[in-house]
Amino acid sequence: MKILAVGDLVGESGVKKLKEILPNFRKENNIDFVIVNAENSAGGMGITTKIFNDLKALNVNAITMGNHTWGKKDIFTFIDDEKLIRPANYSRGVVGKGYNIYECKNKKICVINLIGRTEMGVQSDNPFTKADDIIKEVKERVDYIIVDFHAEASAEKIAMKYYLDGRITALYGTHTHVQTADEEITTKGTAFISDIGMTGPINSVIGMDVEASVKRFVTSLPERYKLAEGNCMFNGCIIEINDETCRAISIKRIYIK
């Protein structure tokens, strides 16, 4: 089994890049299952009905979110679609699902979305104990467990790696939009990378316009952020799993300009 996880789509240009790359990339690399983080896909904040339908048309299997889940009101019209997953450790009773189970090549794949609590500015429940609850609930019913941990701090993501090591198939980070070079298969067989990066404008400050971003840091004034324009990069990772042992055997970073 080969699973492709695509880093945060940033704006409509990031969606366009995904449309350009994904169909051929999927065929050339024998990808079986695709997960895309789309919480920044609509103008840098949230997701619209159009973008959601575009991703479904691309045969994306699962769409994960993050701190900008509620950025566009459209989401409330499709929040219960089986392809969409919002952070599982949002407050109890919040609409939507924090995980879902999918079937692919006669295997059952559980995809979990979690959000970090360090420097995130979002009130959420404990992602560590929430992961415990979900794993306990699904472990007898699934073959693979994949976690998108949408978090700011590398330390929090690495701590989660050790906490879930051997209990899940793969853990990858999203949110920072900067791809890290720490991909590994742990001694207990879990694939890990702190952050898979973004699919969005190359000449930018994590997807945002350079001039506006720099001005904020230089002047400390509340300059309005706006999306950058121009050519985009495609970031993500491929996780390969042994279908007999249900253990990850490789994880490869994807960085295409």
68 included as an active-site residue: yes
Q: What are the distances in angstroms from CA 117 to CA 39, 114, 149, 162, 240?
A: 17, 10, 11, 17, 29
Q: Is 43 left (phi over 0), alpha (psi -120 to 50) or beta?
A: left
Of 207, 167, 205, 211, the residue nearest 186 (C-alpha): 167
Q: CB under 8 Å to 26, separation ≥6 — which residues?
A: 4, 34
With CA atoms as reference, report the closest residue to 86 among 72, 98, 71: 98
C-alpha 205/C-alpha 225 separation (Å) is 10
Tabulate helix, strand, coil % of the chain (nearest 5).
25, 30, 45
Closest Cα partner for 6 from 181, 204, 256? 256
d(CA 176, CA 183): 16
Residues 6+ apart with CB under 8 A from 146: 3, 5, 35, 109, 110, 111, 112, 168, 169, 170, 171, 172, 239
**Active-site amino acid positions:** 68
